[in-house]
Chains A and B, each alone.
Chain A
Amino acid sequence: MQLPPAMMKGVADIVVLQVLDKHGESYGYELVQVIGRASKDAFAFREGTLYPLLYKLEDQGLVESSRKATDGGKVRRYYRISKKGKAHLAEKTKAYLGFIEGLQSVLEFGV
């Protein structure tokens, strides 16, 4: 089930950072695929969302990028999480887990 865009908006950066942290250096299309698999297709990033978000994260220093040639000779831009990004992710993860726990408690309240 795909989530509404409004719900996606708040978590998009942490999703990208988490995938970059766990999956490692990735290019744009690869990120879309991994995010889809990891979220069981709950998060479907379109290119119009993904790349501007990556640029924003890069501008904030949370993500770094470089162009590399693959074995097949194709040149792609790869993104990876920075040190600052890892710290940001750890902080955000903690906050989101607390949020989720609280939300879950509320949703299960009286059930």
Chain B
Amino acid sequence: MKSEDYFEHVAGEIRDRDMRSRFLEELQEHWEDVDGPADADPSATLGESALLSHQVNAVVAQRSVGWSIALMLFSCFVTWILGSTISAYIPKFTFSFVSLAELLTFTLWLVVAFALYVTVHHRLAMYPSTAKARAIPCIVAFFAPLGFTMYELVPPLLTGATGYDISYSIRGFASGAALLVMFLLAGEVVRRYLHVTDRIIGSVTRWLPWFVAVYVTIGCAMLIWNNALSDGPGAILAAPFVVPLFVAYLCWALLSTAPMTLLPVMTGFWLVTAAAITLGILVPVGVWIARRRLAFPLRLALGFTLPIFLILPFVPQDVPVNTWQVPVVWSWDSLERSQLNVVYPWAASLMRRNDGMNASYGAEIENGSLRVIQAGGVVVTFEDRTPVVRANKEVVDDAIYNDFPTSGFACDGTLLETIWDTHNDSTSPMGMFGSGCGELTYNGHVIGTIDHALIDLDVSSDGLLAVSINMGSYDPTYVYVLDISQLQ
């Protein structure tokens, strides 16, 4: 059709997709202003002009929807590949109904995210703006926390898993909803004051795809090396969520007076890994993509998925199936104090969380053996508990949160309640609380010297104390098991 060719010819002069959208809209307005067809397109009559306007909109809309669907399918495919790969690499991760539910949830998240993308993009066709077009991927990218929340929420509902802390999901979902409202409000402000913000946001977001790519790369690197091995594909979605968490934690750690010998090593490792991947692979690939002027959503999709593919080879692949054990290094200087070194990052891959409450360590004695527990699941069993504890109680409860008050404990004279002020009343599965502990006392008795920041404290009813210490990882690196039964 000649008139459509004319559109394409004229609009083809503008390479930038967002600017083309704006240009097409202005062309539409222009033709509406034209008194007669002779002033505009010689081939167009007034009626044709209106028809062409619709065609312009249709072209823009079809492209948006087309790209979005393609992106969604591509992401689903990547998810499938990723899930299969992780399933193959990690023992105990079988394609169970739970993992199927996770996959469905992940897909659902994609559908929701890109339905939103398409919807907003249609609005863009009505109110085109380079700035807003560039801001949309930002919204999609930051929807990852919502995806993470859904990942947490839906599988237990589908499978009827018990012991799941529903409040965790509700809080997470509320956070996601708050994020959504926040971004919508921000979008509305941008729309209303577009003439002011257009230029600023336009220049800021010019580099957004690269920002997203680097951001997700770092997040994925952190997750892969830290916790994603045990969390599956859904955790990848949490990458943008983890980055600020990591930054916050790093600030906290740097401000802490505790000597964290491992932290700089792990931090450096993450950053070097991320930087090497970004500079060595991602940037050249990105330049290649940019030179071919691929459409923006595709660039964004590649920004999301390439890091995952690039990082996968770095995932440890030699985890022995069926014969896995937690690598444990014993060292103790007294019968009262034993140290369980959980070697990182293997522990992260082996300590499965089965009820959504990770980073919760406890200890219990059953049939004469000591068991260290995480999230209700036994991490390791020590048949001979003699060198570990002196307690004799045979009947114990699982040592989980809030079973035992933390009153009576103090670190260098500071009551732990003041440090873990939210701990006693919280069901939060993880809290970055505490500071360099130093001398840990209970009811005035020194029970250990712990020169690290504490992350968690769990006491079983039979007087076993599990002190979890974070050394830069998401999960505790060290777990001290102490017998305080004599002191109660």
Contacts and interface: CB of A to CB of B under 8 A. Distances in A.
Interface of A: 27-30, 47-48, 51-52, 55, 61, 64-67, 74, 76-77
Given A67-B127, A67-B194, A55 B29 contact: no
A55 B195 contact: no
A66 B23 CA distance: 14
- List the 10 closest pairs (A to B, CB-CB), nearest first: A29-B33, A66-B195, A48-B10, A29-B30, A47-B30, A28-B30, A51-B23, A51-B26, A76-B29, A28-B26
Interface of B: 10, 13-14, 19, 22-23, 26-27, 29-30, 32-34, 40, 127, 194-195, 199
8 contacts: A52-B14, A55-B19, A55-B23, A65-B195, A66-B195, A74-B32, A76-B29, A77-B26
Contacts of A74: 29, 32
B10 A27 contact: no
Contacts of A48: 10, 13
B29 A52 contact: no
Contacts of A66: 194-195
A52 B11 CA distance: 9
Nearest to A75: B29
Contacts of A61: 199
A51 B127 CA distance: 17
A83 to B, nearest CB: 14
A84 to B, nearest CB: 12
A34 to B, nearest CB: 13
Contacts of A65: 195
A77 B198 CA distance: 13
B38 to A, nearest CB: 12
B13 A27 contact: no
A29 B10 CA distance: 16
Contacts of A30: 33
Nearest to B10: A48
B23 A52 contact: yes
Contacts of A76: 29
Nearest to A50: B30
B20 to A, nearest CB: 10
Contact of A27 (B33, B34, B40, B195): B33
B40 A47 contact: yes
A55 B198 CA distance: 13
A51 B23 CA distance: 7
A100 B39 CA distance: 31
Contacts of B13: 48, 52
A97 to B, nearest CB: 31
Contact of A29 (B19, B22, B34, B199): B34
B14 to A, nearest CB: 6
Nearest to B199: A61
